[in-house]
Structure 1
């Protein structure tokens, strides 16, 4: 029997943190609660076992959730992160996705929906890792770029970048549809799970991040091209 998934909850409101802990443990997960960024990051640095998912509030004492999200990504590019926040502006969501979160849930939230998102993210991570790690083609190369699906890394020249699960999943999608014009609606439907709180702007933000990894000049891309009024097209050899 496999070990229960371990969830790190970073939340300073005791009522919410304790409620999440109770319900996650009722679902069979192991949980760890931290009330601020430094203690959460210290736990990640000291942990003996892998954390499988992070629930992260944005408004925390001393260190913002955005900073914490970036710091977690520096330590583990693959762990799923769900931001749980009372902030509802599109700018807040865009910034959170730029920092590396996988999903954004606004407070107040419906517990069954959050539990469903947790299950889906944990399942998706296992599936993606299995597909990538069992692939006969661990590498994909174009121009001076090399993508390693097994290690979740992109190398461009002498630079090496670690990708998050969503970034690598989206890049793989573009590579698998090389040359095709892909609408934002189709990308959203095929790459993100149904009901995920993402918009076309989210896709644009992810594309901008991918361009930083694979393009010599992200402002004038040669491989990941914009198609006006529609979406994007990936071209390996311009």
Structure 2
């Protein structure tokens, strides 16, 4: 297993490298964003040397950890990203999750807990990679109604107007599309879209994200025809408006 540690404090980076190597992991350290992303891309292009997990600081020179997380997510949607930061505000944690990170630990930290989290994230990743695909394959561009979704550009086009989506908005929309016509409970959505982040959010968060998506894709968000509510259950995605 290969870990990428992005940390500009040399002593801490070397300490993490040493302890991870004692656990049997291969470790590459980077002090800044461009170095980290360049290494990640090079490894991603080689199946045998791909990075299995990223340990990421947020306060870095030149390029923040948030920006790095976004870039990594554009390359790989599955690789676990664990934030290790001195930032303790809930807003920092929420934004980190919006950028695609999986877990968040604050400094100072307990080494046994860090090692345990890394082990669990790697185990979860291996299960995801081995899991059979049971949902429909979504193309890079997908159309429904008067909406075109560009998954690579993180954008949608509605009646000729392009709009940007956040990472989580895009992941939620893709999840709906993959499960076209199925009734999805809030608990399902929380587990499958938010994953490890679900411990920090509530089902109300899902409702808020659905409202945001409706404002983007529905002609009349108050009377949605694509992302519809199923009373007492959850939500269902319908690519075409249902006839009476």
Task: Flag whether TM exceeds 0.5 (same fold).
Answer: yes
* Map of 2:217 onto structure 1: 216
The number of equivalent residue pairs is 214
Native 8 Å contact 2:218 2:226 kept in 1: no
Query: Are the structure 2 counterparts of residues 208 and 182 from structure 1 closer, same or farther at C-alpha, using a change threshold of 3 Å?
Result: closer
Q: Corresponding residue for 1:10?
A: 6
Question: Which structure 2 residue ranges, 5 or more long, are not aligned?
Answer: 155-166
In 2: Cα distance, 1:218 partner to 1:70 partner: 29
1:123 aligns with: 123
Q: Following TM superposition, by how much is the alpha carbon of 1:223 offset from its aligned partner in structure 2, in angstroms?
A: 4.6
Which residue of the partner structure matches residue 162 of structure 2? Answer: none
Shift of 1:36: 0.8
What is the CA-CA distance between 1:114 and the residue it aligns to? 1.6
Q: Which runs of 5+ in 1 are unaligned?
A: 140-146
Query: 1:1-238 alignment to 2 at 5 Å?
Result: 5-47=1-43, 48=46, 49-131=49-131, 134-135=132-133, 137-139=134-136, 147-148=137-138, 155-157=141-143, 158-161=148-151, 167=171, 171=175, 175=179, 178-179=182-183, 181-182=185-186, 198-200=200-202, 203-204=205-206, 207=209, 211=213, 216-217=217-218, 220=221, 222-224=225-227, 232-236=234-238
Task: State the Cα deviation string for residues 5-60 of structure 1 (Å, max 9, x = none).
Answer: 11000001122211211111111110000011111112123334211111110000
- Give 1 or 2 for the bigger CA radius of gyration: 2
TM-score by length of structure 2 reads 0.68
Task: Identify the residue that residue 144 of structure 1 maps to in structure 2.
Answer: none
Residue 197 and residue 59 in structure 1: after superposition, are their counterparts in 2 closer, same or farther (change >3 A)?
farther
Secondary structure (helix, strand or coil) at the match of 2:186 reads strand
The answer to whether the 8 Å contact 1:94/1:202 transfers is no
| Distance in 1 (alpha carbons) for counterparts of 2:217 and 2:186 | 23
Question: TM (normalized to structure 1)?
Answer: 0.70
